[in-house]
Structure 1
Amino acid sequence: MWRKNLPAILLLNMLGMVLFLSYYLPAHHGFWFSIDSSIFFYFNQHLATSPAFLNAVAVTNNRLFDGCSLLAMGLLYLSFYLKQDAAGRRRLVVTGVVMLLTAVVLNQLGHLLPVSHVSPSLYFPHVNRVSELTGIPTKDASRDSFPGDHGMMLIIFACFMWRYFTKTAFALALAIVVVFSLPRLMIGAHWFSDIAVGSLSVVLVGLSWWLLTPACDHLITWLDRRLPHKGSRAA
């Protein structure tokens, strides 16, 4: 019975709402602004003093590098896919489709939150911009960085690893979250709170009702039955 998870669901919802309100209610976002600005300026100062760091940040924020995060998630998923029989592989494909649909829906809901701001690279004047320092096409700014779309997708992937796979898979997925979220912070395209507050609060509230109840399982099972099977013929 999923109702045994109700206390955990309510707790996660409370944590998500408290997290968001701790950012939304205080003037100038309270202590979050101090954390955000400290992290931004720590990395930003090194962009002008370390060519190796500058180039690494430029490369890891190029749109092509986003494919590396998809590759990392895909390889982790593939490691489980290859161990399954035909039915198991089909269900994993359907689960992946549901995960993508979940990410799209939660991302859209996240942008309904009453917060909108530019990235720190646009908020603070006279800062180091990677695109200007290197000439490399890279994502070093955003006109609407809250919540962090990229970070939210990574966190959702980690949560699905926790729900449907193993503890090891979950640990590896968390490592993927850190590795591929960090470049956005180092370049100044996102505030730390875009991910730690924006992305995480949406996931805590939304996924708790989705993954800790039969809802997600039911959709996976329904799609598994409804989608055409290989070799099936239309009536």
Structure 2
Amino acid sequence: MPIQFNKLILWNLLAVAVFASWYWLPGHGFWFHIDSAVFYYFNDKLGESQAWVNVVAVANNRAFDGVALLAMGLVYYSYYRGAGVEQRRQLLIIGLLMLLTAVGLNQLGRAIPVDRPSPTLTFDNIHRLTELAGFKTKDSSGDSFPGDHGLMLMIYTAFVWRYLSWKAGLWGCLFVVVFSAPRVMGGAHWWTDIYVGALAVAAFGLAWLLQTGLMDAAIAWLDRQLPRLKRA
């Protein structure tokens, strides 16, 4: 795949513009008003209904992360199941590189010089999910920026859009919204942890991997290096 200069520049500009507008504005500017409005909207809801508390608490339990993994896996497997032998080999290699990319970009996100506690550790006189629910859940993070859940979901979306189909990519977009929402609703993440932090890291890192041919070259290299099963 030749270098897609227009897309490379576009995604890098998006990453820089979004992050810079959040990082350099005093008090994060208009982004903080969005963050505050989103947090208080969902936090107020926690004080209105125990049923809603239970729903949000379940969605923020670690076990619920398996639902997101299952949903992503089912979409990926639906393409794997209908593929031929060589296509399945390619999909396995792509899946491996997707995981390695997730680890690498997560480390890139951790390297950003931002130490940001979650809104539940920032605001006073609020509802705490861990106090309202009768079971173990999560409602806080000492360093919530960028949102790691959102970042992983965005990486998945970019890969399946690029290597599976645009329909798989749309499923990925839906997963980003649905499966990153519980952390925001519970107060463990700010809205901008996902749609500024995770988006900026994903846009920057994936642009260099997917729009320059680097990932295609890595797939081809692994395809040559990994042994093939001999058929009887």
TM-score, reference length from structure 1: 0.95
What is the CA–CA distance in structure 2 between the aligned matches of 1:135 and 1:118, rounded to whole Å?
A: 24
Amino acid at match of 1:2: P
| Residue identity matched to 2:161 | W
Deviation at 1:203, TM superposition (A): 1.0
Aligned residue for 1:2? 2
Rounded Cα–Cα distance in structure 2 between residues aligned with 1:75 and 1:7? 33
> Match of 1:56, SS?
helix
Cα deviation, residue 167, structure 1: 1.4
Q: Give, in angstroms, the shift of residue 230 of structure 1.
A: 2.8
The offset of 1:231, in angstroms, is 4.7
Q: What does residue 173 of structure 2 align with?
A: 174
- Spell out the pairing of 1:44-193 with structure 2 (5 A cutoff): 44-193=43-192
Q: CA deviation at 1:229?
A: 2.6
2:32 match: 33
C-alpha deviations, 1:45-96, integer Å up to 9, x for none?
A: 1101111211000001100000000000000000000011122111101100
CA distance in 2, matches of 1:225, 1:61: 42
Q: Which segment is superposed worse, 60-69 or 7-16?
A: 7-16
SS of residue paired to 1:30: helix
Cα shift readout 1:149-191 (whole Å, capped 9, x = no counterpart): 0100001101111111111111111111111011111000100
Q: Deviations over 1:175-223 (max 9, x none)?
A: 1111101111100010000011100001111111101121001111111
3-state SS of 2:212 partner: coil
Q: Deviations over 1:17-47 (max 9, x none)?
A: 0100100001111111110011000000110
Structure 2 counterpart of 1:138, one-letter code: T
Structure 2, unaligned stretches of length 5 or more? none
Task: Compute the displacement of 1:7 (Å).
Answer: 2.0
Which residue is equivalent to 2:213? 214
Aligned residues: 231
Task: Work out the percentage of aligned pairs sharing the same amino acid.
Answer: 51
TM-score when normalising by structure 2: 0.96
Give the letter for the 1:25 counterpart.
Answer: W
Q: d(CA) in 1 for partners of 2:111 and 2:92? A: 30
**In 2, Cα distance between equivalents of 1:134 and 1:53:** 10
SS in 1 for 2:136: coil
Runs of 4+ in 1 over 4 A off after TM superposition: none
How many angstroms apart in 1 are the aligned matches of 2:228 and 2:118? Answer: 46
